[in-house]
Chains A and B, each alone.
Chain A
Amino acid sequence: AQTVTQSQPEMSVQEAETVTLSCTYDTSESDYYLFWYKQPPSRQMILVIRQEAYKQQNATENRFSVNFQKAAKSFSLKISDSQLGDAAMYFCAYRSYSGGGADGLTFGKGTHLIIQP
């Protein structure tokens, strides 16, 4: 079974600064997807960024980018120019490439991101 580990229960950053959230995972599969989801107090899980394991290029979405190290099984999220609206719980998640998602997503325990004005 796959596992996802987020070792930072809480992170704090000054507004406009850059912060990196860490995630490691364990799998024996070679093809898979990795995700970062954001969960604000509204409770809705919002997809931030997605990475396909077969792609060597790191995914980027505006101020959000990842550092995907497949051999090290590491998938960190960098948020540049942090904004107050970025404050939320951030979850790293894994999904097998095969099976059509029948195994669902495997989530980490989350990192609570605090933005200091």
Chain B
Amino acid sequence: DAGVTQSPTHLIKTRGQHVTLRCSPISGHKSVSWYQQVLGQGPQFIFQYYEKEERGRGNFPDRFSARQFPNYSSELNVNALLLGDSALYLCASTLDRGNSPLHFGNGTRLTVT
């Protein structure tokens, strides 16, 4: 079975632009979470989606938004990019909304210039 897949692998954007990152969960997984990992730090929680609804949100500005589609895939959108948004963005999926283990993808490396 395929694991969590994220696209694109790498992305370079300019300050002020908008970016969309995509994530496909493991087949059968209904929950998707997004994390931001700045270089040299641990990942920080951005969002959790379950059954197409936002169930949790970390301490991130409104420039960050996400959605989950009927097939449980997800998009993370970031508007008005700042240099500080440069990071590895990780997607993780779980079987349900409970306490199942998280399975992470390989991430999207976003560079803002």
Contacts and interface: CB of A to CB of B under 8 A. Distances in A.
Contact of A101 (B35, B40, B48, B88): B48
Contacts of B55: 100, 102
A69 to B, nearest CB: 21
Contacts of B24: none
A101 B101 contact: no
Interface residues of B, number: 30
24 contacts: A43-B88, A43-B107, A43-B109, A44-B104, A44-B105, A44-B106, A45-B43, A45-B104, A46-B104, A100-B55, A101-B33, A101-B48, A101-B97, A101-B102, A103-B56, A104-B33, A104-B35, A104-B46, A104-B56, A105-B35, A105-B43, A105-B102, A107-B42, A108-B42
B58 A104 contact: yes
A45 B42 CA distance: 11
A117 interface: no
A107 B44 contact: yes
Interface of A: 4, 33, 42-47, 50, 91, 93, 95, 97, 99-110
A100 B68 CA distance: 17
A10 B15 CA distance: 33
A113 to B, nearest CB: 15
B98 interface: yes
Interface in B33-49: 33, 35, 40-46, 48
B94 A101 contact: yes
B98 A100 contact: yes
Contacts of A43: 88, 90, 106-107, 109
Contacts of A103: 45, 56
Interface string B11-44: 0000000000000000000010101000011111
